[in-house]
Amino acid sequence: MIVVPAAVTLSALNGVPMVAPGDDLSAMLLSACHANGLSLQDGDIVVLAQKIISKAEGRAVPLASVSPSAEAIDLAAQCHKDPRLVELILSESEKLMRVRPGVLIVRHRLGLVLANAGIDQSNIAQDGDGVALLLPLDPDGSAAALRRAVHDALGIDIAVVIIDSLGRAWRKGTCGVAIGVAGMSGLLDLRGEPDLHGRPLQTSELGLADEVAAAASLIMGQAGEGRPIVVARGIARGRNEGSAAELIREPAMDLFP
């Protein structure tokens, strides 16, 4: 039986410093919690913006270091982008799906279908000829490592969700989406659970981590708020061994390839 809470709390941590390559995010998290008067508890879900994970893991690439291929130069002319940025997009992608002025839609190596391979230049210092920030190499692994570090430091069982703001097919606007998960279900299978009339649900699967991501994104902000960490409390986490990877629909099941 799935227990659905009647209320949850979301707390954005203020005063999180700018992140540099090699920074200890677990120490930064615990320091920010202390500064905000918040003590992490068993069952909490810590939600972090993808950007601080990527920055800590050294995923910022100066465009001056990139040599575009002939393919990147050709695509850049079609989508009106810097050929060096296009080269990074191609290097992070396993399939190019659409080319339009201003955007490349790709299937990222993580399985995500998104614009420009999730590569961003906002909220990152733009030194010299420009810097692009790539998604983490292994967001599920990054979430698991942070979860272990908090357990080692405090002896508590939390979940960690790494999120990014992505566009959605047939919908305008971006929404917070989970790209890394540890310590909770990414996808929660509700099949077999009774509805209001006792009829077993037949097809219901809940993108639990994505719902947490969207909720946290509301108070995390998208621009200059500087609140990249949110603590969610009161949410039933499902399984401890979940991942963001389980949210990816296999290409063979895609009705609109």
* pLDDT tens per residue, range 144-193: 999 999 999 999 999 999 999 998 888 999 999 999 999 999 997 766 56
Give the residue among 139, 145, 119, 165 at the shortest CA–CA distance from 27.
Answer: 145
* pLDDT at residue 241, rounded to an integer: 87
Q: Which of 20-34, 43-57, 115-129, 243-257 has the lowest mean pLDDT?
A: 115-129
256 occurs within a structural domain? no
Answer yes or no: do 126 and 140 share one domain. no
* pLDDT at residue 120, rounded to an integer: 86
* pLDDT at residue 240, rounded to an integer: 81
Angle at which helix 25-35 crosses helix 139-154, to 10 degrees, equals 60
Please give the Cα distance from 46 to 161 (Å, whole number): 6
Answer yes or no: do 164 and 244 share one domain. yes
Band (pLDDT 50/70/90 cuts) for residue 41 is very high
Domain CATH number, residue 212: 3.30.1330.100
* pLDDT at residue 36, rounded to an integer: 97
Please give the Cα distance from 32 to 38 (Å, whole number): 8
Domain final residue, candidates 132, 164, 180: 132
Answer yes or no: do 54 and 148 share one domain. yes
3 occurs within a structural domain? no
User: Does position 1 have pLDDT exceeding 60, yes or no?
Assistant: no
**Mean per-residue pLDDT, 64-78:** 96
Prediction pTM value: 0.92
Answer yes or no: do 204 and 160 share one domain. yes
Answer yes or no: do 194 and 70 share one domain. no
**Mean per-residue pLDDT, 36-61:** 97
Q: In which domain, by residue range, is 89 found?
A: 60-132
Q: Which of 118-122, 137-141, 221-225 has the lowest mean pLDDT?
A: 221-225
237 occurs within a structural domain? yes
Domain final residue, candidates 82, 114, 132: 132
Answer yes or no: do 146 and 229 share one domain. yes
Domain final residue, candidates 69, 97, 132: 132
* Residues contacting 19, CB < 8 A, separation 6+: 25, 28, 51, 52, 55, 56, 228
Domain CATH number, residue 98: 3.90.1660.10
Q: Which of 125-129, 145-149, 169-173, 247-251 has the lowest mean pLDDT?
A: 125-129
223 occurs within a structural domain? yes
CA atoms within 13 A on the CB side of 145: 13
2 occurs within a structural domain? no
User: Does position 125 have pLDDT exceeding 90, yes or no?
Assistant: no
Answer yes or no: do 146 and 180 share one domain. yes
Answer yes or no: do 22 and 104 share one domain. no
Q: How many domains are contained in the chain?
A: 2
The answer to whether the CB of 131 falls within 8 A of the CB of 121 is yes
State which amino acid sits at residue 203: T
138 in the Ramachandran plot: left (φ > 0), alpha (ψ -120 to 50) or beta?
beta
φ and ψ at 217, to 5 degrees?
Answer: -60, -30
1 occurs within a structural domain? no
Answer yes or no: do 148 and 168 share one domain. yes
* pLDDT at residue 191, rounded to an integer: 60
State which amino acid sits at residue 128: G
Task: Please give the structure tokens belonging to residue 184.
Answer: 């909770």
Answer yes or no: do 154 and 240 share one domain. yes
Answer yes or no: do 167 and 49 share one domain. yes
* pLDDT at residue 46, rounded to an integer: 98
84 occurs within a structural domain? yes
User: Does position 123 have pLDDT exceeding 80, yes or no?
Assistant: no
255 occurs within a structural domain? no
Q: Which of 79-93, 95-109, 134-148, 186-200 has the lowest mean pLDDT?
A: 186-200
Answer yes or no: do 67 and 52 share one domain. no
- Which residue's entry shows tokens 């030194």? 127
* pLDDT at residue 197, rounded to an integer: 62
